[in-house]
A and B are shown apart, each in its own frame.
Chain A
Amino acid sequence: MKGVLALDAQGLVKTVGNGRAARRVLDGADLRVHSDEVVAVLGRSGSGKSTLLHLLGGLDAPDDGQITVAGERLTGRSSRALSRIRLRHIGFVFQQFQLIDELSGLENVLVPTRLPGAPSGGARRAAKLIDELGLTRVAGHRPHELSGGEQQRFAIARALVNGPELILADEPTGSLDQGNGAIVLELLANLRGRAVVLVTHEPGAAAIADRVLSLDSGLLGERFDEQRRRAWGDS
């Protein structure tokens, strides 16, 4: 059963590069994602998957089209307003984890809670998440003392700590081995009450998704069937 609409993107157009090198990577792409829904976007390298994710997260602006996250319009907003929307409604998970070297795992999770305007009770939520993700034992470790899987779990905890409605994951298993990759995917699949958009070029990673879309020639289209999704879920 579909929850509330967490993300609504309509007619997204984006051109990258200048002059003769200009290339239209999105050409009227539409995407609607509800809470409790995981959507995977597959595509070749350079097809514009990451660009789409950056647009959905308000990190970049589309040339045309509209994006609404948790009822807040992203397009045409100031940098300050976009920061506030990201703080409250969007969480990012990156392929390279992007943990801050100087901070321990726990401190990395706490970073979004210490930003101006963050909801209160961040420390309590961070401790709970770390406990839920099985990271309590290594919470005081620096990123270079953690395995790839642990680092990505801390990154997921950081994305979740302010309770966002939308999680945007860019190749979350791209830097992990198969075992750790599976653990991370399971975590993303089981996030309750949140919409997850996962861009990947690995069909295996897409198996956790409720819907699988393919980005081709700047347009998003349905690709994987329900059977394949269940097959991954049964394994």
Chain B
Amino acid sequence: MGRQLISACREAWLALRMRRRRVLLSAVGIALAAAMLSAAIVIAEGLGRGFTRAARTAQMGDLIVRFDPVPAREASQRIRALPDVAGFALRMEIRNVPISYAGHETTGGVGEILSPRARQGYAVVAGHNLGRSQRGVLIEPGLASAWHIHLGARISLGVAGTQRVVGLVEGPDDVGFPLGAARFYIRRSTLEVPGRRYPSPPVDFAEVWLRNPRYVNEVLVQARSESFGLRHLQFATRGGVQVLVNQAAGIVIDLLVALSVIALATAAVLLAASARAEVQRRMRAIGISRAVGATRGHVAAVQALETTIVTVPAATIGVLAGLLATYSPDDRLLALLNEPGPGAGLAQPLLLGWLASIALPVAGAAWPAWSAAGRAVIALLRGADVGSGGRRRRRSRRRSRRSRGGGLAGLGARLVAARRARLLATVTMLASSTAFVLLMLALAGALSSLETDPQELGKHYQITASAPPTAAARIARAPGVLAAEPRYEVHAVDEYALGELVDVIAYPLDHTLFEAPPLASGGRLHGNHEAEVGVGLANALGLAPRSELLLELPSGKQLRLRVSGTVSSLEDEGLVAYVPASALLTADPSVPSQVAVLLRPGANQSTVFGELARMGADPQTTEGATARGAPLVAVLKTILRAIAIVDGLVCIYALVQACALTMQERRRTVAVLRACGGGGSAIRRLLLGTVLALVLPAAIAGIALERFLFGPALAHLAAGYASLDLTPTLTEVVAILAGLAVAGGASILWVSRAATRESVVAGLAG
């Protein structure tokens, strides 16, 4: 047995050495498919299970409850009255805390003042947790990374003074800094004056653990009825948060996994076809082996060994390359989302992916040898066809009367079309890759626009100035300024759904001059009693044109308006309402304002900036929707770029391999052309037809796929509350077509060079 294996290994090694270029091409294909699969596994495992991992590590509560501050004793009583409660932790959240460290500062910090409970719903990822009355502060890795804060550093925390950082913690119920606020955790004792007694400090946040999380809905119903005395209650369940997170990541993961499976399947089809062509070429040698006593299993084993020798290193390199390309950005993305990386949890799925990357090509290669070796030895010695020639023959007979043209390119197309399954697999691979890269481009474009272009939010003004409303008229007269008006903005709470925060925006005159998100239904507001609401708010509150909108302002005053229409606004996830300034100011004259400045066409923004600064108004450029999320956008772009590069390489490989296979199988045809006087240009024309037969249908199908399936699906999931346009632009389509053309050109050059290097005599011999 051992001797047989050694003999088979030697035979396989010799066979591989004889066709190094083809072996190299196969290895590249396997490596690329494995890289694609491994990238998909890293991202699927990282994003798809990130929340579950974070929730498990942090021992996240089954129920999160926010309410207006009440004494801790009162909140504890309410929670203890609930059924099935295994434990709970109370906190007080203080907002707008100024935080500063080494030149960095923010005034929007959020402090979590911890009560002395064992479980807190966060995971300590570095340093240690705070003791029951220990001084010091815990911060999130996002803040530590953005401001380069190390353990032991001392940061300034407003009322909490300067505290030493004792640990880094991740709380899965919110995103990290700078996507979210800079959060820190301190013990209540840090704020208390030593020696003074605090009988029942205020709390406004509770995290509740249940004995049986399956009964969370029943507990929720009970909690609502037991909430007497608690105002502005907001509930979030662990399952609800998970559904939201998974929904967002789901389509990206689905697309990646689907694409990598298609890539692997295509690689397997192409490798099987390559093996089939090789088996066909060696048919007589197989016949001789069988004639001298080699078993069918031995023939198949040699082929399987050959492929294994190539596949194992190629798949290993591919898996490692995919891991390297995506692990780091995936980890950074998870850190921004306050979720831990998959770590060692990746090992098992990656091992399975590695095994699949080996098993599929080996099986695909061994099958033709097994099938061929099963034929009669005499037929093998005559060089029988390994494939189902009969079926092709019948098909071609039906069509043989048709007149066809097209010259050498037409012949090239017909040669590749003769292998329908392979043609279909390659076109499917190319089409899905085209659609995927287009989607990545459109997504990257949309992200960039959201980050930098206020127009995406329907904002037409370019500058906001910190100045009183009375300064608007003076600013409007400044050079380069077309119009300037006070812009009032305040966060209100809806009266019906208890807790939905609404961004209320008001202008004294027509707001559409300054910002006009597209109308989704109804009409623009007219008069003092109407409002336009964002689709996100309309969906949350069940609003439609002519519904009544009732808001409670921070001052406690109410604002009652009739909805005139809904607008597609990305701002604040569509939880926005445009109202008349007169109505808002009547309800609350102290609403804060800035001056929105609209520039004249062609005006120099920096000149206007200088002018406004001279007037004492602090000017700022208007931000896009994701301006605060710049790091997230950057990480997403890195991931998209890495995947698009691997995808593009898989495309090139598929094209090169399909062309190379066609040339390999039709080496006699190529040799005849060359014997008739065809040189390199004739072979290139032949290959041009082959490439066009693959690329043209793939490009059309790919563009259609993105335009009508991938784009709308992702746009819908990405922002269900607004219209996010992921239709590819003409530039993107031209870019992808140019990419395909370059890939096709590279394939033609590579394969024609190899084809013309072969001896014509060897080609004629088959």
Q: Is the CB of A79 within 8 A of B400?
A: no
A111 at the interface (CB under 8 A from B): yes
Least CB separation from B666: chain A residue: A100
CB under 8 Å from chain B, chain A span 97-115: 98, 100-104, 107, 111-112, 114-115
Q: Is the CB of A142 within 8 A of B396?
A: yes
The answer to whether residues A115 and B408 also contact, given A84-B677, A142-B396 and a CB cut-off of 8 A, is yes
Q: Is the CB of B400 within 8 A of A92?
A: no
Q: Is the CB of A145 within 8 A of B400?
A: yes
Residue of A79, A114, A144, A158 near B393 (CB, 8 A) is A144
B678 at the interface (CB under 8 A from A): yes
Residues in B with CB closer than 8 Å to A92 are 675-676
Q: Is the CB of A140 within 8 A of B400?
A: yes
Least CB separation from B760: chain A residue: A59
Residues in B with CB closer than 8 Å to A88 are 677
**Cβ distance B283 to chain A, nearest Cβ, rounded Å:** 15
Least CB separation from A164: chain B residue: B677
B265-283 vs A, Cβ < 8 Å mask (1 yes, 0 no): 0000000000000000000
CB under 8 Å from chain A, chain B span 394-409: 396-397, 400-401, 403-404, 407-408
Residue of A80, A85, A102, A118 near B415 (CB, 8 A) is A102
B332 at the interface (CB under 8 A from A): no
A116 at the interface (CB under 8 A from B): yes
**In whole angstroms, how far apart are the Cα atoms of A141 and B669 in the complex?**
18
**In whole angstroms, how far apart are the Cα atoms of A100 and B404 in the complex?**
14
Residue of B397, B415, B674, B764 near A83 (CB, 8 A) is B674
B731 at the interface (CB under 8 A from A): no
B590 at the interface (CB under 8 A from A): no
Residues in A with CB closer than 8 Å to B418 are 102
- B74-82, B518-526, B679-687: which lies at the A interface? B679-687
Least CB separation from A50: chain B residue: B761
Residues in B with CB closer than 8 Å to A87 are 676-678
Q: Is the CB of B764 within 8 A of A107?
A: no
Residue of B407, B672, B761 near A60 (CB, 8 A) is B761
Chain A interfacial positions (CB closer than 8 Å to B):
54, 57, 59-60, 79-80, 83-88, 90, 92, 94, 98, 100-104, 107, 111-112, 114-118, 140-142, 144-145, 158, 162
**In whole angstroms, how far apart are the Cα atoms of A117 and B764 in the complex?**
23
Chain B interfacial positions (CB closer than 8 Å to A):
393, 396-397, 400-401, 403-404, 407-408, 411, 414-415, 418, 668-669, 671-682, 685, 756, 759-761, 764
**Cβ distance A14 to chain B, nearest Cβ, rounded Å:** 12
**Cβ distance A52 to chain B, nearest Cβ, rounded Å:** 12
Q: Is the CB of B685 within 8 A of A102?
A: no
**In whole angstroms, how far apart are the Cα atoms of A79 and B683 in the complex?**
13
The answer to whether residues A100 and B680 also contact, given A79-B756, A111-B673, A140-B400 and a CB cut-off of 8 A, is no
Q: Is the CB of A145 within 8 A of B397?
A: yes
Residues in A with CB closer than 8 Å to B756 are 79
Most chain A CB atoms below 10 A, which of B676, B756, B761 = B676
The answer to whether residues A100 and B677 also contact, given A60-B759, A94-B764, A140-B401 and a CB cut-off of 8 A, is no
Q: Is the CB of B760 within 8 A of A158?
A: no
Q: Is the CB of B677 within 8 A of A83?
A: yes
Q: A-B pairs with CB below 8 Å: how many?
A: 90
The answer to whether residues A86 and B675 also contact, given A59-B761, A107-B404, A145-B400 and a CB cut-off of 8 A, is yes
**Cβ distance B690 to chain A, nearest Cβ, rounded Å:** 12
Least CB separation from B415: chain A residue: A102
Residue of A60, A98, A115, A142 near B678 (CB, 8 A) is A115
Q: Is the CB of B400 within 8 A of A142?
A: yes
Q: Which 6 A-B pairs have the closest CB atoms?
A: A87-B677, A83-B679, A86-B677, A112-B676, A59-B760, A142-B400
The answer to whether residues A158 and B676 also contact, given A59-B760, A94-B764, A144-B393 and a CB cut-off of 8 A, is yes
**In whole angstroms, how far apart are the Cα atoms of A100 and B558 in the complex?**
85
Residues in A with CB closer than 8 Å to B759 are 59-60
Residues in B with CB closer than 8 Å to A107 are 404
Least CB separation from B668: chain A residue: A98
Residues in A with CB closer than 8 Å to B403 are 140
Q: Is the CB of B677 within 8 A of A103?
A: no
**Cβ distance A105 to chain B, nearest Cβ, rounded Å:** 10
Least CB separation from B417: chain A residue: A102
Q: Is the CB of B400 within 8 A of A141?
A: yes
**In whole angstroms, how far apart are the Cα atoms of A92 and B761 in the complex?**
12
**Cβ distance A142 to chain B, nearest Cβ, rounded Å:** 5
**In whole angstroms, how far apart are the Cα atoms of A60 and B682 in the complex?**
19
Residues in B with CB closer than 8 Å to A115 are 408, 673, 676-678, 682
**In whole angstroms, how far apart are the Cα atoms of A116 and B396 in the complex?**
28
Residue of A94, A116, A142 near B681 (CB, 8 A) is A116
**Cβ distance A124 to chain B, nearest Cβ, rounded Å:** 16
Q: Is the CB of B764 within 8 A of A111?
A: no
Q: 26 A-B Cβ contacts within 8 A? A: A57-B675, A59-B675, A83-B677, A83-B678, A84-B679, A85-B677, A86-B674, A86-B675, A87-B676, A88-B677, A92-B676, A98-B672, A100-B411, A100-B672, A111-B672, A112-B676, A114-B407, A115-B673, A115-B677, A116-B679, A116-B682, A117-B677, A140-B400, A140-B403, A145-B400, A158-B676
Please give 7 more A-B residue pairs, beta carbons under 8 A apart, in addition to A86-B674, A112-B678, A144-B397.
Answer: A57-B675, A79-B756, A80-B679, A111-B672, A115-B408, A141-B400, A145-B397
**In whole angstroms, how far apart are the Cα atoms of A104 and B403 in the complex?**
9
Q: Is the CB of B414 within 8 A of A102?
A: yes
**Cβ distance B406 to chain A, nearest Cβ, rounded Å:** 9
**In whole angstroms, how far apart are the Cα atoms of A1 and B649 in the complex?**
65
Q: Is the CB of A79 within 8 A of B679?
A: yes
**In whole angstroms, how far apart are the Cα atoms of A180 and B407 in the complex?**
31
**Cβ distance B235 to chain A, nearest Cβ, rounded Å:** 69
The answer to whether residues A112 and B401 also contact, given A60-B759, A102-B418 and a CB cut-off of 8 A, is no
Residues in A with CB closer than 8 Å to B397 are 142, 144-145
Residues in A with CB closer than 8 Å to B761 are 54, 59-60
Residues in A with CB closer than 8 Å to B407 are 114
**In whole angstroms, how far apart are the Cα atoms of A141 and B761 in the complex?**
27
The answer to whether residues A86 and B764 also contact, given A102-B414, A140-B400 and a CB cut-off of 8 A, is no
**In whole angstroms, how far apart are the Cα atoms of A104 and B401 in the complex?**
8
Least CB separation from A117: chain B residue: B677
**Cβ distance B399 to chain A, nearest Cβ, rounded Å:** 9
Least CB separation from A106: chain B residue: B403
Residues in B with CB closer than 8 Å to A103 are 411, 414
Residues in B with CB closer than 8 Å to A162 are 677
Residues in A with CB closer than 8 Å to B677 are 83-88, 90, 112, 115, 117-118, 162
Residues in A with CB closer than 8 Å to B393 are 144
**Cβ distance A78 to chain B, nearest Cβ, rounded Å:** 9
**Cβ distance A96 to chain B, nearest Cβ, rounded Å:** 8
Least CB separation from A51: chain B residue: B761
Residues in A with CB closer than 8 Å to B672 are 98, 100, 111
Least CB separation from A87: chain B residue: B677
**Cβ distance A70 to chain B, nearest Cβ, rounded Å:** 13
Least CB separation from B393: chain A residue: A144
The answer to whether residues A80 and B680 also contact, given A60-B759, A100-B669, A142-B397 and a CB cut-off of 8 A, is yes
**Cβ distance A157 to chain B, nearest Cβ, rounded Å:** 12
Residues in B with CB closer than 8 Å to A158 are 676
**In whole angstroms, how far apart are the Cα atoms of A111 and B408 in the complex?**
8
**In whole angstroms, how far apart are the Cα atoms of A4 and B487 in the complex?**
99
Least CB separation from A111: chain B residue: B676
**Cβ distance A146 to chain B, nearest Cβ, rounded Å:** 11
Residue of B415, B685, B760 near A116 (CB, 8 A) is B685
Residues in A with CB closer than 8 Å to B760 are 54, 59-60
Residues in A with CB closer than 8 Å to B685 are 116
